[in-house]
Amino acid sequence: MAAGMIEYKDASPEVRAVYDDIMRTRQVDWINNFWKALTNDPASLMRTWESIKQIMAPGALDPLLKEMIYVAVSVTNQCGYCIASHTAAARKKGMTDAMFHELMAVVGMANETNRLAAGYQVPIDEQFK
């Protein structure tokens, strides 16, 4: 059975504080199902949100680029929920159609050559060590 979704109105004060922080940080006015499910384990909700908030913040890489990397991983792993949610997030952060198409092309190609390198049992070049 899928985990129950914990809505804002049913949440404890400390969970509401996390929900508020998610909405404020992401500038959205609703909470998506991932967080509502994770709230079944409040410790996990808090730890995961704190980590994501820290990791996805602007830094040496800009937030859009980070979101596209998230999509690349999710597509490689065939995670349906993650593909849908992070593609939407990337679009919200400015990913155009052209950027999305190039992202998909690179992800597809990398998955292909990853297998060619493995199948041909290619030894690592000294220059890369």
- Restricted to residues 17-46, the positions that interact with a second copy (CB under 8 A) are 30, 32-34, 37-38, 40-41, 43-44
Integer Cα distance of 63 and 67 in angstroms: 6
Task: Tell which one of 13, 51, 93, 94 touches a second copy (CB under 8 A).
Answer: 51
Of residues 61-80, those binding a second copy (CB under 8 A) = 61, 65-66, 68-80
Closest-CA residue to 89 (of 28, 39, 16): 28
Per rule CB under 8 A, is residue 10 in the interface with a second copy?
no
Per rule CB under 8 A, is residue 47 in the interface with a second copy?
yes
Tell me which H or E stretch contains 115: helix 97-119
Tokens of 62: 């800009």
- Nearest-approach distance from CB 23 to a second copy, in angstroms: 13
Integer Cα distance of 89 and 85 in angstroms: 6
Task: Tell which one of 84, 90, 93, 94 touches a second copy (CB under 8 A).
Answer: 84
